[in-house]
Amino acid sequence: MLHRIVIPTVVLAAPAFAADLAAISFKTLEGKDTSLKDYSGKVVMVVNTASKCGLTPQYEKLEALYGQYKERGLVVLGFPCNDFAGQEPGTAGEIQAFCKAKYSVSFPMMEKVHVKGPEQHPLYAALTGTQGAFPGEVKWNFGKFLIGRDGKPIARFEPKTTPDSPEVVQAVEKALQ
């Protein structure tokens, strides 16, 4: 049974979740096959990103969060997405170059995916679908999902909730304990 506690910009879920997120494959920006299985034992933050959005400066805060907690087991996975006002039109190479040059992104970036609609990536369907951990479409770029070391989704943060906000930092720290 899934229990939710709603706080203005975050939804926390109880650990019960049926989907095996680790079995869902996706590709890195370099085209390499991967899945959450490759991050087994880590706390994972899944973020849909965009290069031409008012929230794009969150890359800097995501990189800082990753830098602060990666040694303790946090990994941030960026999933570029062009579903919102065409704000990620770039190719894989352009996205990679932008992220490195503008924000010195060192966390793993994945190939562009759809986070909503008929072509929604299976990872996002498992997170946001009617049977998902956090039902309800991603509202915009930089929606964040926190997945525990056990591979179970534990929190959802709306796009305007920044990676350095107290609720995000507290959830990350708790998940890393």
For helices 92-103 and 58-69, angle between their N-to-C axes, nearest 10 degrees: 80
> What are the φ/ψ torsions at residue 110 (nearest 5 degrees)?
-100, 170
- Catalytic-role residue among 10, 43, 53, 77: 53
- 106: which residues sit within 8 A by CB, 6+ positions away? 63, 66, 67
CB burial string 99-112: b at 16+ within 10 A, e below: beeebebebbbbbb
Torsion sign (Cα): 52, 61, 91, 44: negative
User: Catalytic residue at 53?
Assistant: yes
DSSP class of residue 128 equals H
Question: How far is it, in rounded angstroms, from Cα 47 to Cα 55?
Answer: 12
* Parallel/antiparallel/unpaired status of strands 74-80 and 43-49: parallel
Catalytic residues: 53
